[in-house]
Homo-oligomer: A and B are copies of this chain.
Amino acid sequence: MCEHKPLRVTVWNEFFHEQELPEIRAVYPNGIHECLRGFLEKEQDVAVTCVTLDMPHQGITEELLRNTDVLIWWSHARQDDVTDETVRLVKEAVLSGMGLIALHSAHYSKIMQALLGTTMTLHWKHGDREKLWCVNPTHPIARGVPACVDIPEEEMYGEAFDIPKPDDIIFIGWFASGYVFRSGVTFTRGLGRIFYFQPGHEEAPVYEHPHIQRIITNAVRWARPACRREAPPQNVEEK
């Protein structure tokens, strides 16, 4: 009943804004990835590896993914620099069972587009305030999270959000400027579980928020594969 094996999380961060812009560096001095690592490793059984876009192979190798239970992905300004080979490796790993958590502007990453098939487009505006409402209180990702989480500073993401129908809508975001958004949604693709979570614009320390940390921690546990294959399934002829 107790899972004693460590839960191996890899955080992939574009790590661009934090290096280029002093005001973002002030928010996340060591990068968003280190902030995520910081709270995830407070969990006794979680081990985090951080990789970034500028590393060799864009930080992604087959071996790393084979040893990753859940991949967290944060990307924004340099989505286009991610290579087809990186996308292929991540997609194969998800279809084989690896969990994927796409944060904030990673909705528009090539990997999310490749897995979900739609444009993943939305409406957006800087400088808003969000109230994140839970509409699925029995979902494991909502465990221990209050009915409403206040995020005083957040970029607005609004509908229409061009995603396939999610398996579950867990959170709906209310924005002071008059918009709503399906801010926390799950998908299954192949054997892999995917959670897209909208909060986390780089200009405010959203990932320091304890309830946001709780949600991401819950999501990591939820996305952990029960079974993992060597490779995605093939067509099989029965005799």
Show the binding face of A for B, using Cβ within 8 Å. Answer: 1-3, 43-45, 91, 95, 97, 108, 114-119, 121-125, 131, 133-135, 137-138, 140, 143, 147, 156, 158-162, 164-165, 167-169, 172-175, 177-180, 182, 187-193, 221, 225-227, 232-239
Contact = CB atoms under 8 A, between A and B. Distances in A.
A138 B108 CA distance: 21
28 contacts: A2-B2, A95-B162, A117-B117, A119-B234, A121-B234, A125-B238, A125-B239, A134-B159, A135-B160, A135-B180, A135-B182, A137-B227, A138-B225, A138-B226, A143-B226, A147-B159, A147-B160, A159-B172, A160-B233, A162-B232, A162-B233, A164-B164, A164-B188, A165-B167, A169-B169, A172-B172, A172-B180, A174-B174
B159 A236 contact: no
A122 B120 CA distance: 27
A188 B238 CA distance: 31
Contact of A238 (B124, B140, B172, B234): B124
A106 to B, nearest CB: 13
Contacts of A124: 235-238
B119 A95 contact: yes
By secondary structure, the A interface counts as loop
Nearest to A94: B117
A35 to B, nearest CB: 22
A45 to B, nearest CB: 6
B117 A236 contact: no
Interface core residue of A138, A221, A236 (most chain B CB under 10 Å): A138
Given A138-B191, A172-B172, A1 B43 contact: yes
Given A117-B117, A119-B190, A158 B238 contact: yes
B180 A161 contact: no
A180 B174 CA distance: 6
Interface core residue of A91, A156, A227, A233 (most chain B CB under 10 Å): A233
A177 to B, nearest CB: 8
A162 B192 CA distance: 11
Interface core residue of A179, A189, A232 (most chain B CB under 10 Å): A189
A226 B160 contact: no
Nearest to A129: B178
